Structure 1
Amino acid sequence: MPACEADYTKFAERNAELFAVSVDSVPTNKAFAESLKVTKYAILSDFHPKGEVSKKYGVYLEDKGISARATVVVGKDGRVKWCKVNELPAQRRNDEIVKACE
C-alpha cells in the first residue's frame, strides 16, 4: 500500500482511480491506513455483509474469512480489464498495474 501511495501520480496521469477494499471494518481500515500513512486513496470496507464484494470478484477466502491480495483494474465500461492475485507475502508490482491502466 505504501508503494501505491508513492506511485499515486502515475495512476492519476492515466485517469485511474485508486482505492483498496478490505473485509475489515471502517475503524480498522482507518487505523491501518494511518499506520501506513496512506492518505492519497481510500480503503473501502467490505465488512457487512462480510466479503460480499470480494465474493463477486472471486477472491474471498471463506475458510480464512479474508479476501486474497488481489489487484483488479476495471475499465470505464465497468468490465474487468486486468486481475492478478498475489500470494502472501509477495508484493504487487506497480509497473504491471500502471501498464494495465493504459
Structure 2
Amino acid sequence: MPSYEEDLSEFERRDAQVLGISTDQVFTNEAWAKSMGGLSFPLLSDHWPHGYVAALYGVLRGESGQCERAIFVVDKQGKVAYVDIHDIGEQPPTDRIMQALDRIQQGAGAGANAPH
C-alpha cells in the first residue's frame, strides 16, 4: 500500500480513487498507517460483519479470516474492470493497474463521442 502513495498523482490523473480495505479493525488500520508514516488515501475496515465485502469479491480466506492480496479496479458504473489476485507477500504491479485505468478512460471517451 505505501508504494501507491508514491503513485497517487498518476491515479489522480486517471480520475481514480485509491482505497485500502482489510478485515482488520479500524484502530488496527490506523495504527498500521501511522507505522508507515501515514497514508493519503482511506483505509477501510471490513471487520463487521467480518469479511463481508471480501467474501462478496471472492477474496476472503475462510480458514484464517484474512483477505487475499487483491486489486480491483471498478469503473464509475460499478463494473469490475480489472482483477489481480496474487501471493500475500508480493506487491501488485502498478503498471497493470494503470493500464486498466487507461482502458476505462479510453472506453469512456469513445462512449462520450458515440452518436445517440
What is the TM-score normalised by the length of structure 2? 0.85
Give the residue type in structure 1 aligned to 2:11: F
Using the TM superposition, give the Cα deviation of residue 86 of structure 1 relative to its aligned residue in structure 2, in angstroms. 1.4
> What's the % identity of the aligned pairs?
35
Aligned residues: 102
Superposition pairs for residues 2-17 of structure 1, below 5 Å? 2-17=2-17
Flag the structure with larger Rg.
Answer: 2
Please tell me the root mean square deviation across aligned C-alpha atoms, in Å.
Answer: 0.8
Q: Could you tell me which residue of structure 1 aligns to residue 48 of structure 2? A: 48
2:88 matches 1:82: no
Using the TM superposition, give the Cα deviation of residue 68 of structure 1 relative to its aligned residue in structure 2, in angstroms. 0.3
Higher helix share: 2
Using the TM superposition, give the Cα deviation of residue 40 of structure 1 relative to its aligned residue in structure 2, in angstroms. 1.1
What is the TM-score normalised by the length of structure 1? 0.96
Counterpart of 2:16 in 1: which secondary structure? Answer: coil
Using the TM superposition, give the Cα deviation of residue 98 of structure 1 relative to its aligned residue in structure 2, in angstroms. 1.2
1:5–1:38 CA contact under 8 A, matched in 2: no
Structure possessing the higher relative contact order (Cα contacts under 8 Å, 6 or more residues apart): 1
Gaps (5+ residues) in structure 2? 103-116
Higher strand share: 1
Counterpart of 1:61 in 2: which secondary structure? Answer: coil
Q: Which deviates more from structure 2 when the two are superposed, residues 32-41 or residues 14-23?
A: 32-41
1:23–1:51 CA contact under 8 A, matched in 2: yes
Q: Could you tell me which residue of structure 1 aligns to residue 35 of structure 2? A: 35
Instruction: Could you list the structure 1 runs, at least 4 aligned residues long, displaced by more than 6 angstroms after superposition.
Output: none
Counterpart of 2:99 in 1: which secondary structure? Answer: helix
Gaps (5+ residues) in structure 1? none
